[in-house]
Amino acid sequence: MRRIVLLAIASALLVATAAYAHHSYGANYDVTKELKLEGKLVQFVFRNPHAFVQMEAPDSDGKIQRWSIEWSGTTALGAAGITHESLRVGDEIVVVARPSRVAGEYRGLMVTLKRPVDGFTWGTREGEKVD
Amino acid sequence: MYRSAALSILVVVILSAAAYAQPARQPNPTDISGEWRLESDEDPGALGQSGQPPLGDYLGIPFNAAGRMRAETSAESIWETPEYECRPHTAPHQWRGLGGVRILKEQNPLTREVKAYHIQFMRSMDWPVYMDGRPHPPGYAPHLWNGFSTGEWSGNTLKITTTHLKDGYIRRGGPQTSDLYTQTDYLTRHGDILTIVTVTDDPVYLDEPFVQSTTYVADLNGTTVTEVCNGSSGENGGTDRHHVPHFLPGSNTAALTEWLKKEPWVPVEPTRGGVKTIYPEYKATLTGAGKPDSLTVPSSRTAVSPDKNRADQSPQDGEVHILPVQDNIYMLVADGTNVTASAGPQGVLVVNTGSAKMTEKLQAAVQQLASSLTAGKTNKCNGVDCPGTWGWASPFMNTVISSPDPPKPLRYIINTSVLPDNIGGNEKLAASGFYPRAAGLGSATGVGRTATVIAHENVLNRMSAPAGKQAPTPEKAWPTDTYFGEFYKLPEYFNGEAVIVYHEPAANTDGDSIVFFRHSEVISAGNIFSTVAYPVIDIEKGGSIQGVIDGLNHILDLAVAEYRGQGGTWVIPSHGRLSDTADVASYRNMLTMIRDRVQDSIKKGMTLEQVKASRPTVDFDGRYGSDTGSWTTSMFIEAVYNTLKEKK
C-alpha cells in the first residue's frame, strides 16, 4: 500500500512535466542554441528511426570536421517529399542545427537544410521539424 | 415419471461425483501469448513516439550518490557509439519502448506444457523465459541485454526473474544501471489488459529497488515488427572511432535543471532522485515542516549483494571450472583467475598458467580437455563405406574394442604479462607439455621436450637476469620464444586456425599481450580487461592508464558483435565473466571517464591527495573498487594520476 501511495505521488509529479518533456531531444542536444554549418555532404544515411546527414564543415576554429546531423525518420521525411535520392554526396549544403551538449562532439539536430545550387530547402515550412 | 426423473438426477449426481473424484488437474495459467500494444506508461516524454524525458529528470528514482553521479556525467550519445548503436533497449526500459510486444509459447508437443515464453519487442533480441525449472547460469557466464530469465506462475501472475544483465539505462536521458542489477517482472492479464510491474534492483546505483508499471492492450490485428539496425559510421560525428561521450563532474549542472525553467513549481531536490524523495513523508519537507536529512523512511533495501556478485564472477574456491566458449576455445576459471585454452586435433594451447598454487588442478583440467578430444564416440555409421575406415568394417570398432588414443599434448603456453597470475604455473605446465621443434626431438639438449612458452621479450627480461645474477623466477619457467614487434603470429595454424599475439605497449606493464584466435573468434585479453576490478597498473614495470585504454580500444577494433551489440567475438578477461564487445566497451568507457576526470584535475593544479578527496571514481567504486587487498581504489587513482602527471 505504501508503495502504491508513493507511486501515486511520483506519478503526479511526472504527469505535470510530461507536456514539456514530450518529444524532447534535450538529453542529446542544447535546444536553446543553434549552429550554422556550411560544407560538403559526405554521407546521407536515409533510415529509421532517424536519418543522418554527414558533412564536412569547419568548426569554430576553422578546422574542417566531419559533422553528423540527426534528421527525421523516413516516414516524416517522405511526407515532405524527401527520398534517399534527394541528397547526393558532394552537394554543397548549409545546415542550421542544435549543437550536441557534449563539448567537442561534432553532432547536431537538424533545424534547416539548404542546397543553394537549386534552392532545395527543408525546415522552413510548416511541420518540417524533427520530432 | 417422477421416478424416472429422480433416477436421472441421481445418475447425473453420481457421474458428477465421479468426475470430481479424479485427481485434481493443475489449473491452466492465463494465456498471455499474442500481440500487445503499449497503452500507457509513466515516463515523462516516453508516451507516444520518440519522446525522451528531459535531461536531469530523476523524479522517483531512488538514486544513491554513485547513481546520481553516473547519471549526471553520462551523455545520452554514449549509447550511439559503434559498440552500442544496434543494441536493444536495456531491460528496465524495454517494456516502454515503441512498437508493442509479441509473446510466444514454446510448448512440448506431447504434454503441451509450456517450456518457455519468448518475448519480442520491436528493438530486441528474442527474450526466452524458461518455465522448466532450470537453474540460472554461474556468475562467470556472459551477461546479455535480455539477461537470463526463468518464470513461475503465482495465481494469475507470471513472475519473471532475470539475472546476467548488461549495464544499461533505467530511463533514457541519463539514469544508468550497473551490470549487477537483477530484474523481476510481474505479468498479470485481466481480460484484454496486460499489466507489467517491473522491479529493477541495482545495488550499485540505487538505495532500493525501482518499481515501474506499464500497461499493454491485446492487439488482435497488430504485429510486432523488427527494427533492422543499419548502423551508420559515426552517429556522434568526428573521426575518432574511440570517442567516449561524457560530461566532467559539475560541467553540465545548468543543463540538468534547464527543464525546470518551464516547470518552476517543481522543486529541484526531488528531481535529483533519492530514496527519501519518493516516500509520502517527503511531502511535508516541501512546506518547510522538517528537513529531508532528518527523514526516516521504511526503505526496502536491495536484495542483491554486489560483493557476492563480483565474487561469483571470479570464484576463488580453489577449483578449476571449465566453460566452453566457442569452437576450440575454453575458459578455465582457476581459483578466480582465467586461463584460456585451445583444445583440438593438434593438442592444447593455454594462455597464461594461473597462480602457482593452482598448477596441479590446472594440469588436471588441461588433461581432461585433452582426453575429451580422443575419447570414444557413439557409432553413427556401419559398413565399409563409413568415413575413416582402415580395415575394420567400421572405424568405431577401434573405439569399442580398444582404448582410445592417448591424450593430445600441451604444445604452447602464451604469457600475456609477467604478473604472477599469468606465469605461476609455467614451470610445471611447460614440463608436462611437448612440442618437437629445433632439431627434432632435441634429445641432446632437451629442446622440444617441453611446451613452447611465448611472450613479449619484456616478459622474459623481467623474469630472467644476466649471467651471474639472481633471476626472480626459475629458468624452467621462462618464455622459450619471445617477440619484440607489434605482433607475433604462430608460424602455422594451430587447431585449424591462426593464433596472433598482439603487444599492447605500456598497459598494465610494458610486456602485455592479447591473443586473438582468428577462426574461433575469441580474444584472450590478459590483464588489460577485468570484469571485477580496476586494472592493475604497475608503473615500475612500465604500465600506464592510456596504455590500458589503447589496449581495450584495440580489442574493440578486432572484435565484431554477432547481432545487436552482443555475442560474436568473445573476450576472456583476466578475472571475471566471459564478455563480448559491449562489455569491453563498458570497461573502456569507465576508464576513459576516470582518465578525463583525473586529467582535468591535474590541469586545475590539484595534488594527488586533492584528487583522491574529489572521489573521481565514486560512481564505479561499487562495481570495481576495493578498500582492501593487493590493489585498492586508492592505488588505482594514484597510478592514473602519476602516469598522467608524467605524461604532462
- B103, β-bridge pairs: B34, B119
Give residue B235's pLDDT band: very low, low, confident or very high (50, 70, 90).
Answer: confident
How much of chain B exceeds pLDDT 90, in percent?
68
Buried-exposed string B483-498: b where 16+ CB fall within 10 A, e elsewhere:
beeeebebeeebbebe
How would you class B310 by CB atoms within 10 Å of its CB: exposed for 0-12, middle for 13-18, buried for 19 or more? buried
The three three-digit cell numbers of residue B334, written as one number: 582457476
| A18 contacts chain B (CB < 8 A) | yes
Give residue A75's pLDDT band: very low, low, confident or very high (50, 70, 90).
Answer: confident
Q: Please give the mean pLDDT across all residues of chain A.
A: 83
Give residue B283's pLDDT band: very low, low, confident or very high (50, 70, 90).
Answer: confident
What's the average model confidence in pLDDT over B27-31? 81
SS3 (DSSP) at B571: strand
The shortest C-alpha distance from B217 to chain A (Å) reads: 21
Q: Which residue has the cell 564416440?
A: B377
The verdict on a CB contact (< 8 Å) between B77 and A100 is yes
Q: Which residues of A touch B47 (CB under 8 A)?
A: 18, 22
- B26 pLDDT more than 60: no
> Is the pLDDT higher at A19 or at B220?
B220
What's the average model confidence in pLDDT over A111-128? 94
Q: Which residues of A touch B234 (CB under 8 A)?
A: 54, 66, 68
The verdict on a CB contact (< 8 Å) between A18 and B230 is no
What's the average model confidence in pLDDT over B242-251? 94
| A7 contacts chain B (CB < 8 A) | yes
| A80 contacts chain B (CB < 8 A) | no
Buried-exposed string B130-157: b where 16+ CB fall within 10 A, e elsewhere:
bbeeeebeebbbbbbbbbbbbbebeeeb
What's the average model confidence in pLDDT over B89-102? 89
Do B267 and B287 contact (CB within 8 A), yes or no? Answer: no
State residue B538 phi and psi, 5-degree precision: -95, 95
| A3 contacts chain B (CB < 8 A) | yes
User: Alpha carbon of B68 to those of B59, B176, B212: distances in Å?
Assistant: 12, 9, 19
- B201 pLDDT more than 60: yes
pLDDT at B601: 98
Of the candidates B181, B177, B173, the residue with the CA atom closest to the CA atom of residue B147: B181
Do B349 and B383 contact (CB within 8 A), yes or no? Answer: no
pLDDT at A4: 37
CA atoms within 13 A on the CB side of B346: 17
User: N- to C-terminal Cα distance for chain A?
Assistant: 38
Of the candidates B625, B408, B638, B436, the residue with the CA atom closest to the CA atom of residue B545: B638
The three three-digit cell numbers of residue B259, written as one number: 527543464
Residue B45 has its nearest CB partner, among A10, A22, A65, at A22
User: Alpha carbon of B426 to those of B86, B120, B190, B359, B433: distances in Å?
Assistant: 42, 48, 63, 9, 10
pLDDT at B647: 67
Give residue B388's pLDDT band: very low, low, confident or very high (50, 70, 90).
Answer: low
What's the average model confidence in pLDDT over B197-215? 94
User: Alpha carbon of B364 to those of B89, B353, B358, B423: distances in Å?
Assistant: 43, 13, 10, 17
ipTM: 0.80
DSSP class of residue B413?
A: E
The verdict on a CB contact (< 8 Å) between B173 and A102 is no
Residue B278 has its nearest CB partner, among A6, A21, A28, at A6
pLDDT at B463: 97
- B305 pLDDT more than 70: yes
> Is the pLDDT higher at B47 or at B150?
B150
Residue A27 has its nearest CB partner, among B55, B232, B234, at B55
Do B106 and B118 contact (CB within 8 A), yes or no? Answer: yes
How much of chain B exceeds pLDDT 70, in percent?
87
Do B306 and B180 contact (CB within 8 A), yes or no? Answer: yes
The verdict on a CB contact (< 8 Å) between B258 and A103 is no
Q: Give the span between the Cα atoms of B171 and B212, in whole angstroms.
A: 11
Q: Which helix (H) or strand (E) holds B73?
A: helix B65-73
pLDDT at B168: 94
Give residue A19's pLDDT band: very low, low, confident or very high (50, 70, 90).
Answer: very low
The verdict on a CB contact (< 8 Å) between B259 and A21 is yes
pTM: predicted TM-score of the whole model, two decimal places? 0.90
What's the average model confidence in pLDDT over A8-19? 35
Q: CB count, 10 Å around CB of B254?
A: 8
Give residue B44's pLDDT band: very low, low, confident or very high (50, 70, 90).
Answer: low
Of the candidates B66, B179, B58, B70, the residue with the CA atom closest to the CA atom of residue B593: B70
Give residue B13's pLDDT band: very low, low, confident or very high (50, 70, 90).
Answer: very low
Give residue B303's pLDDT band: very low, low, confident or very high (50, 70, 90).
Answer: confident
The verdict on a CB contact (< 8 Å) between A21 and B54 is yes
Q: Which helix (H) or strand (E) holds B161?
A: strand B157-163
Residue B77 has its nearest CB partner, among A48, A73, A107, at A107
What's the average model confidence in pLDDT over B193-201? 96
Residue A102 has its nearest CB partner, among B42, B51, B75, at B75
- B290 pLDDT more than 80: no
Q: Which residue has the cell 510491474?
A: B197
pLDDT at A127: 85
Substitution target from A30, A55, A101 for chain B, most B beta carbons within 10 A: A101
Q: Give the span between the Cα atoms of A87 and A41, in whole angstroms.
A: 8
- B439 pLDDT more than 70: no
Q: Please give the mean pLDDT across all residues of chain B.
A: 88
Q: CB count, 10 Å around CB of A103?
A: 12
Give residue A130's pLDDT band: very low, low, confident or very high (50, 70, 90).
Answer: confident
Closest A-chain CA to B86: A49
The verdict on a CB contact (< 8 Å) between B44 and A14 is yes
- B395 pLDDT more than 70: no
Beta sheet of B487-489, edge-to-edge order: B487-489, B499-504, B512-517, B522-530, B570-575
DSSP class of residue B515?
A: E
Radius of gyration of chain A (CA): 18
Query: pLDDT per residue over B504-532, tens digit each?
Result: 999 999 999 999 999 999 999 999 999 99
- A9 pLDDT more than 80: no
Give residue B648's pLDDT band: very low, low, confident or very high (50, 70, 90).
Answer: low
Q: Specify the pairing of strand B499-504 against strand B487-489.
A: antiparallel
Give residue B19's pLDDT band: very low, low, confident or very high (50, 70, 90).
Answer: very low
User: Alpha carbon of B327 to those of A123, B140, B341, B433, B570: distances in Å?
Assistant: 53, 18, 11, 22, 11
Q: Which residues of B touch A49 (CB under 8 A)?
A: 50, 227
Q: Which residues of B touch A101 (CB under 8 A)?
A: 55, 75, 247, 252, 255
The full DSSP string for B76-105 is: GGGGGSTTTTTPPPPHHHHTTSSS-EEEEE
Q: Which of residues 50-69 of A touch B (CB under 8 A)?
A: 52, 54, 65-68
pLDDT at A112: 97
Of the candidates B434, B474, B470, B478, the residue with the CA atom closest to the CA atom of residue B453: B478
Question: Which of B340-344, B355-359, B435-439 bottoms out in mean pLDDT, i.e. has the lowest?
Answer: B435-439
pLDDT at B384: 66
Q: Which residues of B touch A52 (CB under 8 A)?
A: 232, 235
The three-state (H, E, C) secondary structure of chain A, written as one string? CHHHHHHHHHHHHHHHHHHHHCCCCCCCECCCCCEEEEEEEEEEECCCCCCEEEEEEECCCCCEEEEEEECCCHHHHHHCCCCCCCCCCCCEEEEEEEEECCCCCCEEEEEEEEECCCCEEECCCCCCCCC
Q: Give the span between the Cα atoms of B416 and B514, in whole angstroms.
A: 6
The dihedral over CA atoms of B340, B341, B342, B343, expressed in degrees to the nearest 10, equals -160
pLDDT at B448: 60
**Cβ pairs bridging A and B (under 8 Å):** 155
pLDDT at B493: 96
pLDDT at B158: 97
Q: Give the span between the Cα atoms of B50 and A31, in whole angstroms.
A: 16
Substitution target from A3, A6, A35, A98 for chain B, most B beta carbons within 10 A: A6
Q: Specify the pairing of strand B410-414 against strand B347-351.
A: parallel
Q: Specify the pairing of strand B522-530 against strand B570-575.
A: parallel
Give residue A13's pLDDT band: very low, low, confident or very high (50, 70, 90).
Answer: very low
The shortest C-alpha distance from A117 to chain B (Å) reads: 25
Residue A21 has its nearest CB partner, among B53, B232, B243, at B53
